[in-house]
Amino acid sequence: MIIILQSGASEDQIQHVIERVEALGLKAHLSRGTFRTIIGVIGEEQKIASEPLRAIPGVQDVVPVLPPYKLASREAHPQPSIVEVAGVKIGGGNLAMIAGPCAVEEPERMDTIARAIKAAGANILRGGAYKPRTSPYAFQGLGEEGLKILREAGDQHGLPVVTEVMDPRCVPAVEKWADMIQIGARNMQNFVLLTEVGRTRKPVLLKRGMSATVEDLLMSAEYILSQGNSNVVLCERGVKGFDKATRNLYDVASVAVVKGLSHLPIIVDPSHATGRPDLIPPCALAGVAVGADGVHIEVHDCPERAKSDGPQALLPKQYAEVAAKIRQLAAMFGKTISTVPGR
Amino acid sequence: MIIILQSGASEDQIQHVIERVEALGLKAHLSRGTFRTIIGVIGEEQKIASEPLRAIPGVQDVVPVLPPYKLASREAHPQPSIVEVAGVKIGGGNLAMIAGPCAVEEPERMDTIARAIKAAGANILRGGAYKPRTSPYAFQGLGEEGLKILREAGDQHGLPVVTEVMDPRCVPAVEKWADMIQIGARNMQNFVLLTEVGRTRKPVLLKRGMSATVEDLLMSAEYILSQGNSNVVLCERGVKGFDKATRNLYDVASVAVVKGLSHLPIIVDPSHATGRPDLIPPCALAGVAVGADGVHIEVHDCPERAKSDGPQALLPKQYAEVAAKIRQLAAMFGKTISTVPGR
Amino acid sequence: MIIILQSGASEDQIQHVIERVEALGLKAHLSRGTFRTIIGVIGEEQKIASEPLRAIPGVQDVVPVLPPYKLASREAHPQPSIVEVAGVKIGGGNLAMIAGPCAVEEPERMDTIARAIKAAGANILRGGAYKPRTSPYAFQGLGEEGLKILREAGDQHGLPVVTEVMDPRCVPAVEKWADMIQIGARNMQNFVLLTEVGRTRKPVLLKRGMSATVEDLLMSAEYILSQGNSNVVLCERGVKGFDKATRNLYDVASVAVVKGLSHLPIIVDPSHATGRPDLIPPCALAGVAVGADGVHIEVHDCPERAKSDGPQALLPKQYAEVAAKIRQLAAMFGKTISTVPGR
Amino acid sequence: MIIILQSGASEDQIQHVIERVEALGLKAHLSRGTFRTIIGVIGEEQKIASEPLRAIPGVQDVVPVLPPYKLASREAHPQPSIVEVAGVKIGGGNLAMIAGPCAVEEPERMDTIARAIKAAGANILRGGAYKPRTSPYAFQGLGEEGLKILREAGDQHGLPVVTEVMDPRCVPAVEKWADMIQIGARNMQNFVLLTEVGRTRKPVLLKRGMSATVEDLLMSAEYILSQGNSNVVLCERGVKGFDKATRNLYDVASVAVVKGLSHLPIIVDPSHATGRPDLIPPCALAGVAVGADGVHIEVHDCPERAKSDGPQALLPKQYAEVAAKIRQLAAMFGKTISTVPGR
């Protein structure tokens, strides 16, 4: 950590900063420049990352030199982590192909869709039983009943299941029925929920918030990791942008940024990132090419009747087409796609 | 609602759209242009706002003509609402002056700060007992003990109290000890929490999310209103921007946008919007000038020792200076600042 | 400037960085931390601001401690500058009230509008003769003929005139006919044009680009100042945002940021910042309250016939209303509004 | 075009709008809804796209149904265009591999770099002779001397050359010495410059502005096309984002958006989009995977001595590695990479 003092900082102010740093158990190294004095803080700066040093009179700025997360960092864990979801591996050369409808609907529909995506090469089934909807008047999901429908479809077709949790009180139910717990973009900084899923040992799919930096995302992962749950998979699903041509702005480079900073697997979700069926296939391929550990795509067999997000769903045959290209690309990049058998 | 068809839409596709609209209980009015066919939907379009019409083959775009919220809209309630917080009015010509530390700390500190802001003209006391922190290693708040300390300081000095709730399981405790419940920016789309506070009858201070449009904000208010709690006060506190000169980008125009669309009061929070003590006073005045119904400012008597957000706190004497100017401006704009007595 | 080395930087790499710094005429001050080595650069770092030190192997980051502009900085010129536009002062307690149509149209219209805004209290007349239009099929301005019409209307009513230049080849004509030269937002980083207007001695109104940081804006001002023209007035006119409720996102806090960094006057343009007539008056007042040195508003007597930007123009009577409030606020803040007489 | 009237619009206002539409030579089709009246405009709406219909009293909103550009649209030209740059094809299945230093430096360096990139598989050489620098104190380019050096290196190694023009007065020189003229991101809406290069018949590389929507980009292309120059290649190079982990936010989905709207080729520039050598290779591959017609990468043999943008340059051997992968991906997608011979 480097503390930059204001141009007019007095000797007393400089001494006060040094005393504060030393009282916190670190060493201060003073360097007087022509125009500014700077203080290098020597030691584990993360210990004092939350200290309001910038509020000390005479301080102009505080520049960290280490990342504020530890468990999520590549320095702490140089090899890429592999997260296993009921037999399906994600990360470290293993590609996840997650697909399914936005919301869990009736059992027959789930069965139809699950069969189709399995045939197309998907290895994990998604579906929301608790839906975060911007309108209180929109379909809010089937609740625990939906969890059972999802479980049944997954078991039938050999697809581990992932589903979102929004309420800390629902974590036990989701933990019971699902193989992987999703934290949605709107809850990426719902620290209560992060702590709660951190207490389980289920794999967590943590989606990036719409205005979250990569550092914010890794700090949210750190919440889960710090509770002892090391099974975290990150997901890039678009950030807020100014061009309404797409629903969100697909930040594909963030996948490569994460790879440099963290050992955690990261997948892409071109469905939410673009919100447009015509853009999902090319953006899915871009995600694999940039190095993502998986692709998450929403699929529905009758989008115009879907209870949620119909306009951005791919039809099963459209999914099959892009899945074939993803496999081709995965082979070129030396990636493995692991699967588990159905009944 | 207007449905715009693709240039090559077939007669069958057009008929199918008309049938879907009519099956939903609305009328379809066809208009064939030179290059595109459009269908005007006549009736209460909000009924079908969540229907995936855009997913119907042949549809290019769906343009709503009414806002997706009802209870929050000015059309439903043309007069500005006045929300009363234990005797202090907000909205309809009444200005809230909310101040206090980011986090509730020890009782003596709360007492000192409460006395100072009351003397400076504040009429509501803030303080966080449950703190949303980006780092799991940072101070997370005193919990229910903090709620009691806040309550005591407020009662002593004649200041109703507002505090944030993050966990739906903590709503009863916050409801018991506080006069107003705050939903923080990171939880603006935590629909579980919105529903829970909507079930209380306490005034709610709903802060705008960092990537929320004004429409998103009003939809979140609609969640609370739709549960029967009409005491909602909105708060602009900055959105995500590209210039790191300020912590967030203070969207002062959003106050005027809200005034045109909704009857709900809206206040400004220049502390979180800018994150810099030197910018808070001018930005507070800008908020009053644009027509805000209140100003929320963080105050701490020793920022360098604050347990949260110290670097953005004003000192009590700095607060007193800006409060004096706010009163002058409020007088010029014909605003009233209501207060309640202490012990 | 502080150079932060990578965790694995070798002794050779460290020595190489030190040699490069010293070869550039500055001193290097080494500080070995527990996890990172840092090098403080002592001397006039601006000399080496453009050197690619970050490209040296072993370097993780380069953190400047001084701003990259000199002439525009408050350190170089602690007192606020006052720019005089043909007798009308801007800055240092003097408020500019710039108004007029987006584009110069026929002489009678200009005369009508100029008379109306003068009566309302404006002290500078604006009007575009060369118009930057996003469509090649839209009205592009009257050219030099427009400059003459503007000049005549200004002289008649005692209003110095400001107009935009887009082409370096047109600078002499604009210099001849106008009292102040405007650089539009889209040309804020048109360095050829900045250099050209820097060679004149006319006051320049430099509008902030839609994705420019405050530092970018001050660097563009530095281009003009470095050519010897010290008469620069900055203008905040909204940056790109994600909420389509307003045309741009009015960054009112940037005015206060600029005041802290630079001596140059800065005005606000709520017309372009919001693009909505209903939002212009409250946002104009917010601009004055935050400390701006002037307000720029587009006025047209028949917006539905305006050749450019009609939908965002205020009618003369609407302008008169907001101008009266601006004067009231200016008086409260101790600001002076200087004027010059007409014929 | 659809005109939506305000809820309280009077009959007179409605009639006035209809008269205005008809006076402009189009038909108005009235549709009275339950809550709003809408008017469908039938005919070539682009004729009246610049008319200020939204400024007519009683009008709430104006919704276009056709894009505002014609020549750039896919409707006007359904087949993808192929632009030929001195024998090298771009678009329609042909992939451009543009590489070279940010700025043209001494002849030996250009020769070394040109030889290296040719060997690695590049087919077009880039290099700036006129450099847009944010600081007036930074290296501004070698000017016409640089153009000659670039020309010589390109001829020697069989690489057509592309270089940026910033000043309309320099267009003849660039037209003389280069095979393709680049318009930089900061000049994307420099309409004077667009018109000037539109008058030449040289291929133009038009880079997307940092806050430009895809529609803005296509409107700028329309400026060039409307002057009779149909040889336009677009370039995605990152837009302004809030996460400082990357220099810009690489909007890879915009390539697919453009493909749906326009026949013009579009390439990607991961060097400027990310600003980080470690991110350039994966982001280059993402660009090819999403369907780009070329990849533009900055290469320098000694980045720490580069006169411009050294920290983001790839070394020749790093370029050779990513070029090999690009070729592999291009083969998978059935793309051709055309080349011309050197001396």
Considering the domain boundaries, does residue A116 fall inside one?
yes
- Other beta carbons within 10 Å of C250: 33
* Secondary structure (H, E, C), chain C: CEEEECCCCCHHHHHHHHHHHHHCCCEEEEEECCCCEEEEEECCHHHHCCCCHHHCCCEEEEECCCCCCCCCECCCCCCCCCEEECCEEEECCECEEEEECCECCCHHHHHHHHHHHHHHCCCEEECECCCCCCCCCCCCCCCHHHHHHHHHHHHHHCCCEEEECCCHHHHHHHHHHCCEEEECHHHCCCHHHHHHHHHCCCCEEEECCCCCCHHHHHHHHHHHHCCCCCCEEEEECCECCCCCCCCCECECHHHHHHHHHECCCEEECHHHHHCCCCCHHHHHHHHHHHCCCEEEEEECCCHHHCCCCHHHCECHHHHHHHHHHHHHHHHHCCCECCCCCCC
| d(C-alpha B250, C-alpha B257), whole Å | 14
A169 and A132 belong to one structural domain? yes
- How far C310 CA lies from chain B's nearest CA (Å)? 20
B47 and B121 belong to one structural domain? no
Helix, strand or coil, per DSSP, at residue D203: coil
pLDDT at A46: 75
Considering the domain boundaries, does residue C339 fall inside one?
no
**Which residue segment(s) compose the domain that A310 sits in?**
83-332
C224 and C324 belong to one structural domain? yes
Answer whether residue A218 shows pLDDT above 90: yes
Structure tokens at A312: 């951005």
Give the chains touching D; criterion: ≥3 Cβ pairs < 8 Å: A, B, C
DSSP classification of residue D63: E
Confirm if C323 and C296 have CB atoms less than 8 A apart. no
Nearest CA in chain D to C241: D211
pLDDT at B206: 98
Q: Of B23-27, C76-80, C142-146, D248-252, where does mean pLDDT reach its minimum?
A: B23-27
Answer whether residue A35 shows pLDDT above 90: no
User: Bridge partners of D99?
Assistant: D125, D297
- Chain D CB within 8 Å of residue A283 CB: yes
Q: How confident is the model at residue D310 (pLDDT cuts 50, 70, 90)?
A: confident
- Chain D CB within 8 Å of residue C81 CB: no
Classify burial at B61, counting beta carbons within 10 Å of its beta carbon; exposed 0-12, middle 13-18, buried 19 or more.
middle
Angle at A208 between CA A203 and CA A213, to 5 degrees: 130
C194 and C225 belong to one structural domain? yes
The rounded mean pLDDT for chain A is 95
Q: pLDDT, tens digit, for every residue of D159-181?
A: 999 999 999 999 999 999 999 99
Q: pLDDT, tens digit, for every residue of A102-138?
A: 999 999 999 999 999 999 999 999 999 999 999 999 9
pLDDT at B142: 96
Task: Give the CATH number of the domain where residue C141 resides.
Answer: 3.20.20.70
Structure tokens at B154: 């407020």
Considering the domain boundaries, does residue A92 fall inside one?
yes
pLDDT at D44: 81
* Residue C312, C-beta contacts closer than 8 angstroms, at least 6 positions apart: C102, C247, C271, C272, C274, C275, C276, C277, C280, C298
CA dihedral sign of residues C226, C227, C229, C234: negative
Considering the domain boundaries, does residue D339 fall inside one?
no
What is the domain count for chain A?
A: 2
Answer whether residue D9 shows pLDDT above 80: yes
Compute the count of residue pairs across chains A and D with CB atoms less than 8 Å apart: 114
The predicted model gives C252-266 an average pLDDT of 98
pLDDT at D219: 97
D31 and D174 belong to one structural domain? no
- Chain D CB within 8 Å of residue B306 CB: no
- How far B113 CA lies from chain A's nearest CA (Å)? 17
Q: Smallest Cβ distance to C4: which of A31, A35, A65?
A: A65
Q: Of A53-62, B178-187, C145-154, where does mean pLDDT reach its minimum?
A: A53-62
Q: Smallest Cβ distance to C31: which of A35, A40, A241?
A: A40
Nearest CA in chain C to B282: C290
Considering the domain boundaries, does residue A165 fall inside one?
yes
Q: pLDDT, tens digit, for every residue of B8-39?
A: 899 999 999 999 999 988 899 998 888 889 99
Q: Are strands A2-5 and A37-42 parallel, antiparallel or unpaired?
A: antiparallel
Q: Which chain A residues have a beta carbon less than 8 Å from that of C63?
A: 2, 63
| d(C-alpha C194, C-alpha C191), whole Å | 5
The predicted model gives B189-206 an average pLDDT of 98
pLDDT at C49: 78
Q: How confident is the model at residue D79 (pLDDT cuts 50, 70, 90)?
A: very high
pLDDT at B124: 98
| d(C-alpha C233, C-alpha C264), whole Å | 6
Name the residue with tokens 């082409």.
C167
pLDDT at D45: 81
pLDDT at A207: 98
pLDDT at A258: 98
Considering the domain boundaries, does residue C272 fall inside one?
yes
Q: How confident is the model at residue D12 (pLDDT cuts 50, 70, 90)?
A: very high
pLDDT at B170: 97
Q: pLDDT, tens digit, for every residue of A6-34?
A: 988 999 999 999 999 999 888 999 988 88
Q: How confident is the model at residue B259 (pLDDT cuts 50, 70, 90)?
A: very high
Q: Of B30-34, C260-264, D322-326, where does mean pLDDT reach its minimum?
A: B30-34
User: Bridge partners of A268?
Assistant: A236, A295
For residue D1, what is the enclosing H or E element?
none
The predicted model gives C99-114 an average pLDDT of 97
pLDDT at C245: 94
| d(C-alpha A266, C-alpha A218), whole Å | 11
Q: pLDDT, tens digit, for every residue of A282-314?
A: 999 999 999 999 999 999 999 999 998 889 999
Q: How confident is the model at residue C315 (pLDDT cuts 50, 70, 90)?
A: very high
A294 and A199 belong to one structural domain? yes
Q: Of B201-215, C178-192, D128-142, where does mean pLDDT reach its minimum?
A: D128-142
Q: Mark yes or no for CB contact A65/C35 under 8 Å.
A: yes
Phi, psi dihedral angles at B245 (to 5 degrees)? -60, -30
D118 and D22 belong to one structural domain? no
Considering the domain boundaries, does residue D324 fall inside one?
yes
Q: Which residue type occupies C255?
A: V
pLDDT at B46: 75
| d(C-alpha C159, C-alpha C174), whole Å | 16
Inter-CA distances, B106 with B144, B146, B165, B179, D279, Å: 13, 8, 19, 20, 48
* Secondary structure (H, E, C), chain B: CEEEECCCCCHHHHHHHHHHHHHCCCEEEEEECCCCEEEEEECCHHHHCCCCHHHCCCEEEEECCCCCCCCCECCCCCCCCCEEECCEEEECCECEEEEECCECCCHHHHHHHHHHHHHHCCCEEECECCCCCCCCCCCCCCCHHHHHHHHHHHHHHCCCEEEECCCHHHHHHHHHHCCEEEECHHHCCCHHHHHHHHHCCCCEEEECCCCCCHHHHHHHHHHHHCCCCCCEEEEECCECCCCCCCCCECECHHHHHHHHHECCCEEECHHHHHCCCCCHHHHHHHHHHHCCCEEEEEECCCHHHCCCCHHHCECHHHHHHHHHHHHHHHHHCCCECCCCCCC
Q: Which chain A residues have a beta carbon less than 8 Å from that of D215?
A: 245
Considering the domain boundaries, does residue D107 fall inside one?
yes
- Chain A CB within 8 Å of residue B49 CB: yes
Q: pLDDT, tens digit, for every residue of C281-310?
A: 999 999 999 999 999 999 999 999 999 888
| d(C-alpha D226, C-alpha D231), whole Å | 11
Q: Mark yes or no for CB contact B244/D244 under 8 Å.
A: yes
Q: Smallest Cβ distance to A50: which of B20, B135, B190?
A: B135
End-of-domain residue from the set D63, D91, D116: D63
- The complex scores an ipTM of 0.96
In angstroms, how far is the first alpha carbon of chain A from the final one? 56
- How far A250 CA lies from chain D's nearest CA (Å)? 6
Confirm if A153 and A114 have CB atoms less than 8 A apart. yes
pLDDT at C51: 84
- Chain D CB within 8 Å of residue B278 CB: no
Answer whether residue D211 shows pLDDT above 90: yes
End-of-domain residue from the set A28, A63, A98: A63
Task: Give the CATH number of the domain where residue B32 resides.
Answer: 3.30.70.1140
| d(C-alpha C84, C-alpha C232), whole Å | 10
Between positions 235 and 264 of C, the ones with CB within 8 A of A are 240-242, 244
| d(C-alpha B111, C-alpha B124), whole Å | 14
User: With the CA atoms of C149, C151, C155 and C156 taken in that order, what torsion angle do they form, in degrees rounded to the nearest 10?
Assistant: 10
pLDDT at B274: 97
Q: How confident is the model at residue C33 (pLDDT cuts 50, 70, 90)?
A: confident
Q: Smallest Cβ distance to D135: which of C50, C166, C313?
A: C50
* Residue D116, C-beta contacts closer than 8 angstroms, at least 6 positions apart: D299, D301, D316, D319, D320
The predicted model gives D91-107 an average pLDDT of 97
A196 and A291 belong to one structural domain? yes
Answer whether residue D50 shows pLDDT above 90: no
Helix, strand or coil, per DSSP, at residue D299: strand
The predicted model gives B240-248 an average pLDDT of 96
Helix, strand or coil, per DSSP, at residue A126: strand
pLDDT at D94: 98
Helix, strand or coil, per DSSP, at residue A278: coil
Q: Which residue type occupies B17?
A: V
D90 and D30 belong to one structural domain? no
Q: How confident is the model at residue B43 (pLDDT cuts 50, 70, 90)?
A: confident
Q: Smallest Cβ distance to A169: which of B138, B169, B189?
A: B169
Q: Which chain C residues have a beta carbon less than 8 Å from that of D136?
A: 191, 195, 219, 222-223, 226
Q: pLDDT, tens digit, for every residue of B296-315?
A: 999 999 999 999 888 999 99
The predicted model gives A171-195 an average pLDDT of 98
Name the residue with tokens 């080595």.
C37
| d(C-alpha D213, C-alpha D111), whole Å | 37
Confirm if C318 and C115 have CB atoms less than 8 A apart. no
Q: Smallest Cβ distance to B132: which of A55, A191, A209?
A: A191
pLDDT at C45: 81
Q: What is the pTM of this model?
A: 0.97
Answer whether residue C50 shows pLDDT above 80: no
| d(C-alpha B23, C-alpha B12), whole Å | 16
Answer whether residue D46 shows pLDDT above 80: no
Q: Mark yes or no for CB contact D253/A239 under 8 Å.
A: no
End-of-domain residue from the set A15, A34, A63: A63
Q: Mark yes or no for CB contact A191/B135 under 8 Å.
A: no
| d(C-alpha A124, C-alpha C322), whole Å | 60
C192 and C224 belong to one structural domain? yes
DSSP classification of residue A314: B
Q: How confident is the model at residue C100 (pLDDT cuts 50, 70, 90)?
A: very high
The predicted model gives C155-165 an average pLDDT of 98
Q: pLDDT, tens digit, for every residue of D111-120?
A: 999 999 999 9
> What is the percent of chain A where pLDDT is above 70?
100
B193 and B129 belong to one structural domain? yes
- Other beta carbons within 10 Å of B101: 29
CA dihedral sign of residues A20, A22, A28, A34: positive
Compute the count of residue pairs across chains A and C with CB atoms less than 8 Å apart: 66
pLDDT at A144: 96
D314 and D182 belong to one structural domain? yes
Q: Are strands D88-90 and A124-126 parallel, antiparallel or unpaired?
A: unpaired
